Amino acid sequence: MRLQDLNWMDVERYLTSDNRIIIITGSTEQHAYLSLTTDTLIPTRIALAVAERESVIIAPPLPFGVSPLFVDFPGTISLSRATFDALLIEVVESLIHQGFTHFFMLNGHGGNQMPERLRDLHSDGTASFVWYDWWREKAVKAFEARHQLKLDHANWGENFPFNRVSPSPRTEKTPVNLELLAEHSPREVLGDGNFGGLYQVDDALTQELFLVVVDEVTELVRGLAS
Q: How confident is the model at residue 226 (pLDDT cuts 50, 70, 90)?
A: low
Would you call 179 helix, strand, or coil by DSSP?
helix
Q: How far apart are CA 209 and CA 74, in angstroms?
A: 30
Q: How far apart are CA 104 and CA 120, in angstroms?
A: 16
Q: How confident is the model at residue 100 (pLDDT cuts 50, 70, 90)?
A: very high
Predicted local confidence at residue 187, as pLDDT: 96
Q: How confident is the model at residue 28 (pLDDT cuts 50, 70, 90)?
A: very high
Please state the rounded mean pLDDT for residues 80-92: 98
Nearest to 38 by CA among 11, 70, 9, 6: 70
**Is residue 35 predicted with pLDDT exceeding 80?**
yes
Q: How far apart are CA 215 and CA 168, in angstroms?
A: 28
**Is residue 76 predicted with pLDDT exceeding 80?**
yes
| Domains identified in the chain and CATH numbers | 3-224 (3.40.50.10310)
Nearest to 119 by CA among 88, 80, 83: 88
Pairing of strands 197-198, 172-173: antiparallel
| Bridge partner residues of 20 (DSSP) | 102
Residues 6+ apart with CB under 8 A from 39: 26, 27, 28, 29, 31, 65, 108, 109
**Is residue 104 predicted with pLDDT exceeding 70?**
yes
Residue pair 137/216 in contact by the 8 Å Cβ criterion: yes
How far are the Cα atoms of 42, 156, 160, 161, 171 from residue 202, in angstroms, in the given order? 17, 9, 10, 11, 13
Please state the rounded mean pLDDT for residues 213-225: 95
| Bridge partner residues of 34 (DSSP) | 31, 164
The pLDDT mean for the chain works out to 96
Q: How far apart are CA 18 and CA 100, in angstroms?
A: 8
**Is residue 98 predicted with pLDDT exceeding 80?**
yes
Residue pair 122/128 in contact by the 8 Å Cβ criterion: yes
CA torsion through residues 208, 64, 109, 225, sign: negative
Residue pair 58/142 in contact by the 8 Å Cβ criterion: no
125-166 residue pLDDT tens: 899 999 999 999 999 999 999 999 999 999 999 999 999 999
Q: How confident is the model at residue 6 (pLDDT cuts 50, 70, 90)?
A: very high
Predicted local confidence at residue 32, as pLDDT: 98
Please state the rounded mean pLDDT for residues 210-225: 96
Helix-strand-coil split of the chain, %, nearest 5: 45, 15, 40
Q: How far apart are CA 108 and CA 65, in angstroms?
A: 9
